[in-house]
Every structure is written in structure tokens, then in C-alpha cells.
Structure 1
Amino acid sequence: MQTAKQNQSKRVQALVDAEVADQAEKILSDLGVTPTNAINMFYRQIIIHGGLPFGVVLSERQRATHELLEATKNQPVQEIKTQADLEKFIANGD
């Protein structure tokens, strides 16, 4: 017998890219799973794992880009319009 607490539901709303949603819902339909069932399964896996049930990490390229942006964010921007500007930039290292 289910308790009153087990019968309670909570609405969860999220905006999802339409193309992503359509593709995912097609796969779920092929599996015989509704989006609501999938979200419930996802939430249960979050509880079981104590976090997301898959790794969420940056690729090596994303990490390198992030590190480069961080290392250069306080560097002044210098316009190079001519070959002479480029040669001066390379010669001075700035």
C-alpha cells in the first residue's frame, strides 16, 4: 500500500532545445518510455549516484581554450594593421 507521500507529484519544467527534445523523444518512444518516465529515472539515478550519473567534464581542447583565455584576459589588445606593425610586434614581443 502506498502512503500519501508516495502519491504526491511535483511539476518540473525545463526548456530544452526543440531539435534535441524531438530526437530524444523519438528514441524514448522507440524504447516505450515517456519523457516523464525518463525524467523520473534520471532523478532516481542522481539520488543513487549522489550526483549526475555520468561524467561532466571539459574536453582537452575546451580546457586548453579556457586556460588560454584565463592567461590572456588581462593582456592589452594591440591592433596590427600593417606588415610594419606585425614586424614591430614580433620583434618587441608585445
Structure 2
Amino acid sequence: MPKSETLHIRIDPEIKTSVDATLKPLGLSTTEAINIFLHQVVLNGGLPFAIRMPEPNMETIAAMKEAQDISSGRIKTKAYHSVKQLMEDLCSDADD
């Protein structure tokens, strides 16, 4: 079937460069990869892959728990009412 439609999309230039570099060793152009994707959308009746939220790693989970503990008062932290107070405290800690 002859190609008679044009699709114009705007993407981040860095993404375009990365995509081109990834596809070139596969012998594909970005246009060819987009055509493959669009054919797969039709064949699958939707996106040809699952869309889901990324799973946080253990470090992120620990940071989220720590933030919850701080906000609930289970962990006590210092509070500062100005940047000057913070800087004075930081500088006095550096002297120790």
C-alpha cells in the first residue's frame, strides 16, 4: 500500500538523537520504527506493551517511609525559621 499520509510530531532533540543511535545498529530508521509501532497498535487493538507506573527501588521506599515518619512526628528533626539559622547551625557543626 503506498504511503500517502504524513505525520508530524515534536519530540525532545536529545530523545531523537538517542532513538536514532539505538535504532541504527538494528538497521532501522526512526520512521521505520514508528511504522512498525503503528502496525502493532492495529494488530494488538491498542498499545503493544503494558503501561504502568515504575516500581520504586528499596532506597526510594526507605526515603518515602522516612518522610512519612518525619511528617507524622515519629522521627524528630531540627526546624529552622530562616536560612541564616540553618547556615549558622551548619557552620557550627563544621567547627566540631
Q: What's the TM-score once normalised by structure 2's chain length?
A: 0.53
Match for 1:35: what amino acid?
A: T
Aligned to 1:58: 53
Aligned to 1:21: 16
Aligned to 1:49: 44
**Structure 2: distance between partners of 1:9 and 1:55:** 30
Query: In the comparison of the two structures, how many residue pairs are matched?
Result: 60
Dislocated runs of 4+, deviation >2 Å: 58-61
Identity %: 32
Residue 20 of structure 1 deviates from its aligned partner by 1.0
Residue 27 of structure 1 deviates from its aligned partner by 1.1
Deviates more, 1:52-61 or 1:37-46: 52-61
Aligned to 2:93: none
Q: What's the TM-score once normalised by structure 1's chain length?
A: 0.54
**Structure 1: distance between partners of 2:3 and 2:40:** 19
Give RMSD over aligned pairs: 2.2
**Structure 2: distance between partners of 1:9 and 1:38:** 17
Shift in alpha-carbon separation, 1:47–1:26, aligned structure 2, 3 A: same
Deviations 1:39-69 (A, max 9, x none): 11000010111111111122466xxxxxxxx
Match for 1:53: what amino acid?
A: P
Aligned to 1:75: none
